[in-house]
Amino acid sequence: MDVKSYMAELGQQARAASRAMAAADTGAKNRALLATAKALASARDSLLAANAIDMENGRSNQLDAALLDRLELTPERIDAMIEGLQQVATLADPVGEMTDVSFRPSGIQVGKMRVPLGVIGIIYESRPNVTVEAASLCIKSGNATILRGGSEAIASNQAIAACIKQGLAAAGLPETAVQVITTTDRAAVGELITMTEFVDVVVPRGGKGLIERISRDAKVTVIKHLDGICHVYIDEQADLDKAYNIAMNSKTHRYGTCNTMETLLVHSAVAEEILPLLAQGYQQKEVELRGCEQTLAILPQALAASEEDWRTEYLAPILAIKIVADLDEAIAHINRYSSQHTDSIVTENYSKGRRFMREVDSSSVMINASTRFADGFEYGLGAEIGISTDKIHARGPVGLEGLTSQKYVVFGDGHIRQ
């Protein structure tokens, strides 16, 4: 079968399954999740065997060490997948929630009901545990899903998919509610992101290149996460102990995450006091500093920052530092260079905090807190399929609710329009 027909068949099956998933009750969805967990536990040996094939192919294809590490399944990683499924089963079901129900002067009662999106395509790379994570969130939110993992993980993903199918069947739900694309032909992705009749939303999880390519070519709506160029602004009226801790934590807690600070903004009135302390802290962590001219005057050991630095997500122990004259300059810099992911102000001043919260146009805006908190688990979403830097639909960490929509419901008793 050619790729186009193959994908259309997957799409038709997913669309049909999405109807059943939307109507499935919470108990059935939870039973599917727990039965999948059980199936994974029973299939440990075959999962490890399938993964060994991928690892061997990966090594002979000379994948780099980082990629091989992400690709590897271990007994501990299988345990984590099982725990993840159990946790999603404990989350509240967003589907069917009715809100804002009120009577109107005409006598009808109007409200909103939360409903699944339908069919969600998810495109990701290497880590096989994403297969379980993504499938579990789609199942719980009443969606059908078509998963496209990396070709390097295909044996692992097929083995995991078999367990998910067992789980769905055990709960009386259609096995086609979760389908893993079995061809490594890249044309399959092209079909997935353009067959609007079968797919409602696509979530690409991966590097910037992947996401840009998919956003450019997609006809289906994309919930996307591009860069995480996050800022901390230390205000003139900051508590400098808090500022120190937040600036250190935001940069050095982890370097490779999207909610890591990449640029530090410091009010000129406190720069001479706080920057040398921070520079010492960063030096201990071997963080390279790149500063504006004023910064270099205070920290001669820093490198000179270029325009390019303000636009760069380092994902590495490198930090750009800029001294600003006031809150206006800080907000203007952030609204210009931030990727609208997460930005934080450190201040004790009520009015400045209030202005920053309102005027910074990012998906997460913080006061006196580390940017590292921008995360579905820390926000209490229970799970996260990604962090959206879009403005439309889901913004910020996307959990179960981000995989749903709302429809209007109207209750009458024979009401007609006058």
Kindly state whether residue 16 participates in binding a copy of itself, applying the rule CB under 8 A.
no
Contact with a copy of itself (CB under 8 A) among 118, 149, 167, 386: 118
Q: What's phi and psi for 394, nearest 5 deg? A: -90, 135
Q: Show the CA angle centred on residue 155, arms to residues 151 and 159, nearest 5°.
A: 130
Considering only the stretches 112-120, 128-136, 184-192, 286-294, report the one whose residues sit in contact with a copy of itself under the rule CB under 8 A: 112-120
What part of residues 268-327 is at the interface with a copy of itself (CB under 8 A)?
none
User: What are 278's two structure tokens?
Assistant: 């921070």
- Nearest approach in angstroms of CB 413 to a copy of itself is 5
- Nearest approach in angstroms of CB 351 to a copy of itself is 13
Contact with a copy of itself (CB under 8 A) among 17, 164, 369, 383: 369
- Nearest approach in angstroms of CB 64 to a copy of itself is 28
Considering only the stretches 69-77, 132-140, 240-248, 315-323, report the one whose residues sit in contact with a copy of itself under the rule CB under 8 A: 240-248
Q: What's phi and psi for 28, nearest 5 deg? A: -65, -40
Kindly state whether residue 336 participates in binding a copy of itself, applying the rule CB under 8 A.
no
Residue 100: strand, helix, or coil: strand
Q: How far apart are CA 115 and CA 401, in angstroms?
A: 9
Considering only the stretches 6-14, 184-192, 202-210, 388-396, report the one whose residues sit in contact with a copy of itself under the rule CB under 8 A: 388-396
Inter-residue long-range contacts of 413-417, CB under 8 Å, 24+ positions, other chains counted: 413/107, 415/106, 415/107, 415/108, 417/106
Nearer to a copy of itself (CB atom), residue 71 or residue 247 = 247
Considering only the stretches 64-72, 127-135, 173-181, 377-385, report the one whose residues sit in contact with a copy of itself under the rule CB under 8 A: 377-385
Is residue 140 within 8 Å of 91, Cβ to Cβ? yes
Residue 395: strand, helix, or coil: coil
- Nearest approach in angstroms of CB 309 to a copy of itself is 21
Query: What is the H or E stretch that residue 359 is in?
Result: helix 350-359
Instruction: Say how many Å lie between the first and final Cα of the chain, rounded.
Output: 56
Kindly state whether residue 12 participates in binding a copy of itself, applying the rule CB under 8 A.
no
Nearer to a copy of itself (CB atom), residue 268 or residue 406 = 406
What is the Rg, in whole angstroms, of the alpha carbon atoms belonging to the chain?
Answer: 24
Q: Who contacts 310 (Cβ-Cβ below 8 Å, separation ≥6)?
A: 263, 320, 322, 333, 337
Kindly state whether residue 349 participates in binding a copy of itself, applying the rule CB under 8 A.
no
- Nearest approach in angstroms of CB 28 to a copy of itself is 14
Nearer to a copy of itself (CB atom), residue 197 or residue 293 = 197
Size of the site for a copy of itself (CB under 8 A): 67
Kindly state whether residue 99 participates in binding a copy of itself, applying the rule CB under 8 A.
no
User: What are 105's two structure tokens?
Assistant: 């002067």
Kindly state whether residue 380 participates in binding a copy of itself, applying the rule CB under 8 A.
yes
Beta-strand (E) ranges in 76-220? 98-103, 109-116, 119-123, 144-148, 178-180, 201-204
Q: How far apart are CA 229 and CA 234, in angstroms?
A: 17
- Nearest approach in angstroms of CB 13 to a copy of itself is 16
What part of residues 35-94 is at the interface with a copy of itself (CB under 8 A)?
none
Kindly state whether residue 136 participates in binding a copy of itself, applying the rule CB under 8 A.
no
Considering only the stretches 18-26, 64-72, 158-166, 294-302, report the one whose residues sit in contact with a copy of itself under the rule CB under 8 A: 18-26
State the pairing for strand pair 318-324/288-291: parallel
Contact with a copy of itself (CB under 8 A) among 211, 364, 385, 403: 364
Residue 117: strand, helix, or coil: coil
What part of residues 190-229 is at the interface with a copy of itself (CB under 8 A)?
200-201, 221
Nearer to a copy of itself (CB atom), residue 55 or residue 115 = 115
Q: Which of 133, 135, 136, 142 is nearest to 95 (CA)?
A: 142
Kindly state whether residue 373 participates in binding a copy of itself, applying the rule CB under 8 A.
yes
Query: Chain centroid to CA 207: how far?
Result: 12
State the pairing for strand pair 98-103/109-116: antiparallel
Under the phi-then-psi rule, with left for phi > 0, alpha for psi from -120 to 50, and beta for the rest, what region is 318? beta
Residues that bind a copy of itself (CB under 8 A): 19, 22-23, 96, 102, 104, 106, 108, 110, 113, 115, 117-118, 200-201, 221, 239, 241-242, 245-246, 248-250, 253, 335, 344, 346, 355, 357-359, 361-370, 372-374, 378-380, 391-393, 395-397, 405-417
